[in-house]
Structure 1
């Protein structure tokens, strides 16, 4: 063998060995924030909130501009992330009520909620993530990963908590959808024995909850000898909206933009600070280049009181809980230095279910599972994916103006189908990103085609559907 051939062979072997080492040593950190809106980070165009650490993370990795939650509310998206499946396939299509709330909307398939003043009865939901589902942490445990869940869980009561679904350690996760308080000892002003964060005993009065989460993660990381998977699901930035006093004062003295809530701004900046602390620890330990970081949210930003909004989803229509882009579009950043190019951006539509196959693909194991697609080729090579349709399903009445609906996005078009006779909305998201012009009358054939796709998807996923009440 000639010298140039030997050099080429050795170089090829070095690349192969590096690939094996990267696969062997890859750690995974998912930061799955609660209620963070699509424009709530500086890098995504916020006109008020400051997020220097997350902006830096985007500069070191890839930012997605058309990233979708699996649902416009939390529990369904969380179930989708852990299983890679559409919420409709799991029967978890609404947020799961916690025990302290004293009522339930959960039930078996074929059971319904009935409203006196509504024309349809709507299906009850699966009230927990079934143990039969093979979750991402269970898959990683089988590969030798040490697994940590920290923060919000919201996928069932006792017996269905993180430690029952593949996590070696659970700090803070139970049936709660929001914290009683953000300040240690994390107790509500109206105490309830069921309204308590699990495995998070008081340790320093007044310590802010997201600071505590960040501290616990750092403690976990620096005591690991094996590969690890961390599912960090901050209770931030969900209600009750609270923030560290110094940061609240900072934003009270700052010129507001369209976004203008100083306490919410403090809550976001505190989250950003803790993301920065965790990344700094990874750097100090020499783990940054072997840790895949996925930062995303579970649904769009919450408006709350329109006269004093929690946040504003700049450039998008509506907010959490609604079928418009403001309810389902997310900020999403992915970083793996040395492999994912820094400062990259992708406008390819993606969705929550994609993260499970993406992680499995990075680990070079079977990624053909669930309803998502691996994004590895996009992340490493800025490649493309075959065009696909996206679906959402919320067959419930909620509040005065949320009607049972399903959504399909096909290419640039998005159709919202309302079950109770309120009609159909069709939007071109490229020419009309704020969903102002309903094209249903101009494009009746497209509406018919998309409705047929939706019906086939309902059947494929065994979706629970609302039905008209009998007279």
Structure 2
């Protein structure tokens, strides 16, 4: 409803010049100021509010401190850290640290300073890591650690296979990506340790999740999401199914797992419910509170929807999705085709049942169409400039030259003596 259906700043309409069948729909370039955010609700409820890390929801005038966060460390218009993951950061709202300082560690330290300063107050500390995101960078010692681990396990002869639009990584043996993951894990540990140190662990709700699946295709092709199909930016489960950990003292049981489908739209009502703050009158909320589920109870069964009228850098295709918890329908805006999967039996989305289950397709398409209409979703329109023969050649190049190049390049990252700081796996700061 806020109009952001792709990363802010993405090209849309006739500005899109990549020879595709449809024109990506208009995309809002910032979070609307009349959207009443979680931070604003908690601030108005007496909480101190803090943001650190990746924002990517608008330029100056629509930064975190324009949407309810009293303190902002590092959140601006870019989705990638402009200076990479080591200081100097080249970030307009984060002071540089000593040369070579780790960005995730620094963000955790800034978060800890805020927590310590507000340990006797109610607070919201929103730590939004830039990790793991391009550019793919790590330290020489962490590269060496994960290069040895991959080598000791035995190196794969091949790492990629082609799926629809791009090669997709099948093996998790990227030592630079492994190093990035460890740095973020260490940073998370610093914050959890601070809560323990200050005696706050038993009355602080902790949530850990991701905004999308890992990059298995496109950008740096850095990891695999198997057994899920696809990854970040794609319409399959690898793009949308992410970890969601929540610890609510006195409510959740350590190690418990809940299979109830949930979505990012549920964070807002769930957290307000858990801390006893009401939903603002007149505020339209699409999600539901998961508080009953966390207590071992159930919520009303519902369908979940996605709408992505764009082309992703990672191979994603313009599509709408409905997930009922058992059936998942993907409707493609390019040509109107559908895919249908029973994700209770086929989590890897390999068996398309659209042809054999036309009645299910019809029912789910009707639900999806209604939701798209109710939310005034923008549907992409055909691009008259599209050249089918040229596209055929582009795909063939991806299947051959690109795939072969990736195999050579990623094998090189694991070669003894490779220098992670020399060319950062040929990685540069991405345009988003």
| TM-score, normalised with respect to structure 1 | 0.73
Deviation, structure 1 residue 470: 6.9
1:302 and 2:208 equivalent? no
1:285 and 2:198 equivalent? yes
Name the counterpart of 1:230.
125
Deviation, structure 1 residue 468: 3.4
- Equivalents in 1 of 2:122, 2:313: separation in Å? 45
- Equivalents in 2 of 1:170, 1:242: separation in Å? 24
- Equivalents in 2 of 1:245, 1:470: separation in Å? 49
CA contact (8 A) 1:114 1:120 kept: no
CA contact (8 A) 2:49 2:68 kept: yes
Name the counterpart of 2:426.
none
Give the ranges of 4+ consecutive aligned residues of structure 1 lying more than 6 Å apart after TM superposition: none
Name the counterpart of 2:96.
202
SS in 2 for 1:330: coil
Name the counterpart of 1:441.
355
Name the counterpart of 1:407.
321
1:459 and 2:362 equivalent? no
- Equivalents in 2 of 1:179, 1:114: separation in Å? 25
Name the counterpart of 1:331.
243
CA contact (8 A) 1:112 1:123 kept: no
1:133 and 2:35 equivalent? yes
Quickly say closer, same or farther: Cα 1:343–1:267, change in 2 above 3 A: same
1:214 and 2:130 equivalent? no
CA contact (8 A) 2:218 2:313 kept: no
SS in 2 for 1:232: strand
Number of residue pairs the alignment of both structures matches: 362
SS in 1 for 2:254: coil
SS in 1 for 2:108: helix
Quickly say closer, same or farther: Cα 1:422–1:115, change in 2 above 3 A: farther
- Equivalents in 2 of 1:470, 1:309: separation in Å? 31
SS in 2 for 1:278: helix
Quickly say closer, same or farther: Cα 1:304–1:396, change in 2 above 3 A: closer
Find 1:174's aligned residue among 64, 69, 76.
76
CA contact (8 A) 2:76 2:93 kept: no
Deviation, structure 1 residue 202: 1.5
Deviation, structure 1 residue 198: 2.8
CA contact (8 A) 1:244 1:270 kept: no
| TM-score, normalised with respect to structure 2 | 0.80
Name the counterpart of 1:95.
7
SS in 1 for 2:257: strand
1:259 and 2:172 equivalent? yes
- Correspondences of 1:287-436 after superposition (within 5 Å): 287-304=200-217, 309-367=221-279, 369-379=284-294, 381-398=295-312, 401-421=315-335, 423-436=337-350
Task: Kindly indicate whether structure 1 or structure 2 has the higher relative contact order, using CA contacts under 8 Å at least 6 residues apart.
Answer: 1
SS in 2 for 1:123: coil
Quickly say closer, same or farther: Cα 1:125–1:205, change in 2 above 3 A: same
Question: Is 296-305 or 454-463 further displaced after alignment?
Answer: 296-305
Quickly say closer, same or farther: Cα 1:161–1:288, change in 2 above 3 A: same
- Equivalents in 2 of 1:433, 1:354: separation in Å? 22
Deviation, structure 1 residue 399: 5.3
Quickly say closer, same or farther: Cα 1:460–1:112, change in 2 above 3 A: farther
List alignment gaps of at least 5 residues for structure 2. Answer: 155-170, 386-432
Name the counterpart of 2:167.
none
Quickly say closer, same or farther: Cα 1:211–1:114, change in 2 above 3 A: closer
Quickly say closer, same or farther: Cα 1:396–1:159, change in 2 above 3 A: same
Deviation, structure 1 residue 443: 0.8
CA contact (8 A) 2:233 2:313 kept: no
- Equivalents in 2 of 1:310, 1:438: separation in Å? 27
Deviation, structure 1 residue 462: 0.8
Quickly say closer, same or farther: Cα 1:242–1:122, change in 2 above 3 A: closer
CA contact (8 A) 2:215 2:314 kept: no
Deviation, structure 1 residue 142: 0.3
Question: Is 250-259 or 431-440 further displaced after alignment?
Answer: 250-259
- What is the root-mean-square deviation in Å for CA atoms of aligned residues? 2.1
CA contact (8 A) 1:318 1:324 kept: yes
- Equivalents in 1 of 2:327, 2:361: separation in Å? 10
Question: Is 114-123 or 147-156 further displaced after alignment?
Answer: 114-123
Deviation, structure 1 residue 400: 9.2
- Equivalents in 1 of 2:124, 2:153: separation in Å? 38
Deviations 1:89-136 (A, max 9, x none): 111111112xxxxxx536xxxx76565844433311011001111000
- Equivalents in 1 of 2:241, 2:26: separation in Å? 26
Deviations 1:210-263 (A, max 9, x none): 110111111111111321101110011101111233222211111358311111
SS in 2 for 1:344: coil
